[in-house]
Amino acid sequence: MVKEKGYDKELLNVTPESWDFCCKGLVLDMEDGNFLKLSEDGTVLRASHGTKHMTPEEILETYGRKEWKHFQTMSGMVSRSVKYYSYDNYFDLPGALLCARIVDGLNKHSPRRKYDFWKDIVAAIQHNYKTSAFKENCGIYFPEVKRNPEKYIQCCPDSVKKWLRRLKDSGKILLLITSSHSDYCRLLCEHTLGNDFADLFDIIITNALKPGFFSQPPNQRPFRTLDNDEEQEVLLALDKPGWYSQGNSTHLYELLKKMTGKLEPKVVYFGDSMHSDIFAAHHYSNWETVLILEELNGDHVMSPTETESEPIEKRGKYERHHPKALNCASKQWGSFFVDAISGKEGAEEVNTWSCKCVSAHSTITIPSIESIADLPLDYRFTRFSSSSSVTAGYYPKPPRSLLLSGEPMVTK
């Protein structure tokens, strides 16, 4: 943005204090340069113009206490928009701070303007993350990660590796589906799972370009073979396990039918992006979905008596231990799950739109794979769909903020 597009050099100076702005669940209103935290009914709970916090009075004047104008379109999540962008995963999240600081910089020169910088953000993303960037060693991101992968990539816990092996040894078919290209996928997996990571999976699909992998018709998104990380011939169907590129969930499901001998094999899909992973797999493919939501690490609560309902060998790692939280709630934005209506004195807390999406589109939600890795493979989780409670599907326990807001807890 600075070197190629001429934006303010101040963007290159990022202090740890500014990280507090980054919070999953924010929506950027591109036209006004405002970031919004929305309730489940679409009203604005908190907002900022650029990085500048908006007061309740400013929010009321700008948005009122009515549904945000793009809420119906956004809540459908069927497509992206040129008018807004929602930040729902940690890979995207630094971009929120970047965009907010761009708004701050533009305001110095021309306040009360409409903002048209998104095209430059898209160009920067393409410059850094295009399919060929890893091989060409271009952009800023891939060269830096390749030089020092240990700095940026955490090793996978042994418990998770053992869990994957147990699943495969029990006869389950394991899939790895990523939008990363095969060369970058290999770098990540070798450092997280080991050089023999490919042995853990029956099918590996790279450059899947989710959510299109689920939403696009097969004729528009055929699978391709790979040779030395280069995409080769188009496949009209999948007929055997292996490593493929692009593709679609329809042809994948046909292969799973063939491999399992079942007319309707059950697929459980794990992901960390509501839009690209969870909503897409649930809405288009009707797969079971497990949302990885790190915010549960910092928002987890459990009373001393709650652990007595099951024998110790049936409890997951997070029920036996109390690990240090890996993240904290943003002071500027508050809880991911609940908040009070802006400007209303004594207002009861309401659930956020992000919280509503969790219970609407995921089968269960967990803070990490590690939290379930020690459980028996036949462990029966309580699903969100098993009751009307928005807390039912959280494992190992619902977030503290939801319980404190008065949402009844459902137990098995």
CA distance 195 to 189: 8
Residue 283 lies in a domain: no
Q: In this structure, what token pair is assigned to residue 77?
A: 């999540």
Cis amide bond preceding 265, omega within 30: no
pLDDT value for 260:
97
CA distance 130 to 143: 13
pLDDT value for 319:
44
CA distance 314 to 46: 41
379 and 324 share one domain? yes
pLDDT value for 251:
98
pLDDT value for 312:
45
114 and 168 share one domain? no
309 and 390 share one domain? yes
pLDDT value for 297:
84
Residue 236 lies in a domain: yes
Strand partners, 231: 226
Strand partners, 293: none
197 and 157 share one domain? yes
112 and 166 share one domain? no
pLDDT value for 321:
40
175 and 260 share one domain? yes
Q: Which domain holds residue 114?
A: 9-129
Domain boundary pick from 265, 287, 303: 265
Residue 276 lies in a domain: no
CA distance 84 to 349: 25
Residue 288 lies in a domain: no
22 and 117 share one domain? yes
Residue 238 lies in a domain: yes
CA distance 205 to 235: 13
Domain boundary pick from 96, 129, 162: 129
Q: In this structure, what token pair is assigned to residue 334?
A: 């508050």
Residue 373 lies in a domain: yes
- CATH number of 186's domain: 3.40.50.1000
155 and 123 share one domain? no
Dihedral angle computed from the Cα positions of residues 363, 365, 371 and 377, in that order, rounded to the nearest 10 degrees: 0
pLDDT value for 328:
64
> Reduced to 3 states, what is the DSSP secondary structure of residue 334?
strand
Strand partners, 394: 365
CA distance 314 to 307: 10
26 and 108 share one domain? yes
pLDDT value for 259:
97
Residue 243 lies in a domain: yes
Q: What angle do CA 157, 280, 353 make, to 5 degrees?
A: 90
Number of domains in the chain: 3
Query: How do 223-227 and 230-235 pair as beta strands?
Result: antiparallel
Residue 137 lies in a domain: no
Domain boundary pick from 245, 265, 285: 265
CA distance 317 to 323: 9
Q: What is the mean pLDDT of each run of 10 residues along the chain (412 residues)?
A: 92 92 94 95 96 94 92 79 89 94 89 83 92 93 96 95 97 97 97 96 97 95 96 95 97 98 97 95 97 84 39 46 52 93 73 95 96 96 86 93 66 38
Is the Cα torsion angle 240, 241, 246, 251 positive or negative in sign? positive
Written as one string, the DSSP assignment of 369-403 is GGGTTTS-TT--PPPGGGSS-TTTTBSSS-BHHHH
Q: What angle do CA 126, 124, 70 make, to 5 degrees?
A: 90
185 and 241 share one domain? yes
Beta carbons of 281 and 292 less than 8 angstroms apart: no
